[in-house]
Amino acid sequence: MRKKNTGNVEMRKLWDEDPVKIPLQKSRKRGLVLITIVLFGFAVILFRLVDLMVVDHEKLSKRAAQQYMHEKTLQPHRGVIWDRTMKEMAANIETDSLYAMPSKMEDTRSLTRNISPLIKVSSKKLNRTLLKKKKKDFIWLERKMDLDKVRRINLLKEKHDYNAIGFLSESKRYYPKKRTASHLLGFTNIDNKGIAGLELQYDTYLRGEVRNISVGTDARGNRLFNEVKEAVSGNNILLTIDERIQYIVERELAGALKKWKAKAAVAVMMKPATGEILAMANRPNYDPNSAGTSKSYERRNRALTDLFEPGSTFKTMLAAAALEEGIVRFNDEYDVSKGYIVVGGKRINDLHRNNILTFQEVIQRSSNVGAVQIGMELGGKKYYKYIRDFGFGEKTGIDFPGEIRGILRAPGDWSGTSLAALSIGQEIGVTPLQILRAYAAIANGGELMRPYIVSDIISPSGQIIKRLSPMVERRIISRKTAAQVTDILKTVVEEGGTATKAYIQGNLVAGKTGTAQIFDHKKKRYSRDKHISSFVGESYGGVVAAPVFKNIIEHTFAYMNVPMERDENQIILVSK
């Protein structure tokens, strides 16, 4: 039998199971798997890149901008307020404001513990605020800080490496004259927006143009500065006020308030021919640099907002109306010997007993009895017309916020005693500015002017963009009548008049005192011990108010180098 040859078969098996060939086959399989995984990974990455760069591009760009770009508002420099001689009454100073970036804070406790005493916020409250706004990139901690606080916080920053807080420079409103003219100037809020006074009235001119810009930061939060346009500064305004005269008026007013222990006092000075306000002062007053610490009654501009019964100062309007209508002459006589007159069951008394007085003497000596008789001759309808023509019962139109129109009832609403009461300055509510304007009309030859405080609005480049000019509202009385009334008012400050303490040697003075009783609403009658003392006087330019007038005018004349015996370019002042 033939024997099978198995040698080749065995050798083939041995070849097929060669130890060198087996690892090579396995490595090929692994390489293929690895390549497949790598290619798949690249495909996933490529797909994600396409998704990020094409599909979600806009959304992600916005998110990146939110992380690295921050909106910042550039506040413009507010316009400067000058007095008529270009002295700064309201300006700006640069201050630092403290901010925080809560999103970059890891530990808020250390920061709040050290910072809170300086910004006067409890550590607990500050910590709660920072945690509540953890996702915020920017919040204010305190605005417009003083230099000492800034220095102390910078020391804390260096010591504790507080990188999540910083300072931004901001413009702060500053009033260099402090309390002087505070009621006129008003004040602004923390964002330099006008809140009161001229700051409010002319806010649109003063505030300038705000700009919003985007500020970039790097990964560490460092600001990347780009060239940006500055915010447009506000316009400047030039006042009719003279700062030196304003100071004189306020000083004398403060002295009178202290001497007589009065609750409040007002004085206003105006040029009759133009309506320019040279001074307007109130007591009590306040410092607009810290307006937030003042009381509302301290900030009130009483010259425009407070009503009072003018009393005897109103007899000048009666005299002007009676002369203009031709129902009286200077030497017409009135019997006031009883010392009182009864109208509608109401008794009206004179302060001092007199016998027979001429028309001129009725005004000079301020006789209530004589004034009532003149009022009866004039009649209610005619008297009411002149009261309205003199500007009572309406706003003066001054460029200042908050003015009130006063109280004046129409004849149809009068009682049987109203004409008599109006003849002596009762049953009517007026502001000091209204009384001033009426007297200025007499000093101005019978023409009623609109008062104003701002004369020019000036651009940052120095161009006049608006100019306020004198404006005649209307003619009330003739020049002849105005001159006659002025002559009567001159006798008031002479011997025999009620305002001899307003007399100024060497200069002509015309004026009228008023001591109005304050109505007691609880007792339903006029008080016997509470009064409003007033004096309205004109010059080139009363026991309580007349001396104030005299002191103000004398010091004003000295300041203005006014020579004696001059009667032109009049100035008129009302003090209350």
Question: SS3 for 527?
Answer: strand
Contact of 63 with 56, CB cutoff 8 Å: no
Classify each residue of 248-260 as buried b or exposed e, where b means 16 or more C-beta atoms within 10 Å of its C-beta.
bbbebbbebbeee
**Rounded Cα distance, 353 and 340, in Å:** 9
Structure tokens, 524: 């339903």
- In degrees and rounded to multiples of 5, residue 533 shows phi and psi of -95, 135
Q: What angle do CA 465, 467, 469 make, to 5 degrees?
A: 165
Beta-carbon-side half-sphere exposure of residue 282 (alpha carbons within 13 Å): 23
Residue 543 has pLDDT above 90, yes or no: no
Q: Is the pLDDT of residue 402 over 90?
A: yes
Q: How many CB atoms lie within 10 A of CB 523?
A: 9
93, exposed or middle or buried, with CB in 10 Å at 0-12, 13-18, 19+?
Answer: exposed
Sign of the CA dihedral running 391, 393, 395, 401: positive
Tokens standing for residue 271? 């040029």
User: Using CA atoms, how far apart are residues 188 and 210, in angstroms rounded to an integer?
Assistant: 16
CA 574, CA 245: separation in Å to the nearest integer?
A: 14
What would the two tokens of residue 553 be? 């005018």
How far, in Å, are 26, 40, 193 from residue 36 at the CA level? 15, 6, 68
More confident residue, 410 or 124: 410
Q: Residue 574's pLDDT is what? A: 65
And the tokens for 119?
Answer: 């910004």
At a CB cut-off of 8 Å and minimum separation 6, what does 265 contact?
253, 256, 257, 282, 283, 575, 576
**pLDDT of residue 566 exceeding 50:** no
φ and ψ at residue 438, rounded to 5 degrees = -65, -45
CA–CA dist 4, 11 (Å, integer): 15
Fold (topology level) of 243-575: Beta-lactamase (3.40.710)
Between residues 230 and 377, the one the model is more confident about: 377
**Poorest-pLDDT segment among 108-122, 187-201, 350-364:** 108-122
DSSP 229: P
Where do the structural domains in the chain lie, given as residue ranges?
71-212+228-234, 243-575
Q: In terms of DSSP bridges, do strands 236-239 and 81-82 run parallel, antiparallel, or are they unpaired?
A: parallel
pLDDT band at 568 (very low <50, low <70, confident <90, very high): very low
Phi, psi of 133 (to 5 degrees): -110, 35
Which residue did the predictor score with more confidence, 448 or 541? 448
Query: What band does 21 get if pLDDT is binned at 50, 70 and 90?
Result: low
CA-based radius of gyration for the chain? 41
Report the number of secondary-structure helices (H) and strands (E) in the chain: 20, 23
* The pair of three-digit structure tokens given for residue 201, joined into one six-digit string: 């009235």
CA–CA separation, 502 and 546 (whole Å): 5
From CA 232, how far away is CA 234, in angstroms rounded? 7
Q: Place 569 in a pLDDT band, splitting at 50, 70 and 90.
A: very low
**Would you state the pLDDT for residue 8?**
54
pLDDT at 128 over 60: yes
Give me the mean pLDDT over the 95-99 stretch: 86
Residue pair 428/387 in contact by the 8 Å Cβ criterion: yes
Read off the DSSP letter of residue 452.
Answer: B
Please tell me the distance from the alpha carbon of residue 303 to that of residue 501, in angstroms, as a whole number. Answer: 23
Which CATH number, 3.40.640.10, 3.90.1310.10, 3.30.450.40, 1.10.260.40, labels domain 71-212+228-234?
3.90.1310.10
pLDDT in tens, 475-519: 999 999 999 999 998 887 666 655 555 555 555 556 565 655 555
Confidence class for position 208, pLDDT limits 50, 70, 90: confident
Q: For residues 406 and 355, is the Cβ–Cβ distance under 8 A?
A: no
Which residues touch 225 (CB under 8 Å, ≥6 apart)?
Answer: 215
CA gap 553, 506 in Å, rounded: 12
Q: In the predicted model, is pLDDT for residue 216 greater than 70?
A: no
The larger pLDDT score, comparing residue 51 to residue 480, is at: 480
Tell me what pLDDT residue 348 has. 95
What average pLDDT is seen over the chain? 82
- Domains 71-212+228-234 and 243-575 agree in fold: no
The enclosing H or E element of 110 equals helix 108-119
Q: Are 552 and 248 in contact (CB under 8 A)?
A: yes
Q: Is 349 exposed, middle or buried (0-12, 13-18, 19+ CB in 10 A)?
A: exposed
d(CA 356, CA 373): 13
Asked whether residue 530 carries a pLDDT value surpassing 60, the answer given is no
Cis peptide bond N-terminal to 284, omega within 30: yes
pTM for this entry: 0.77
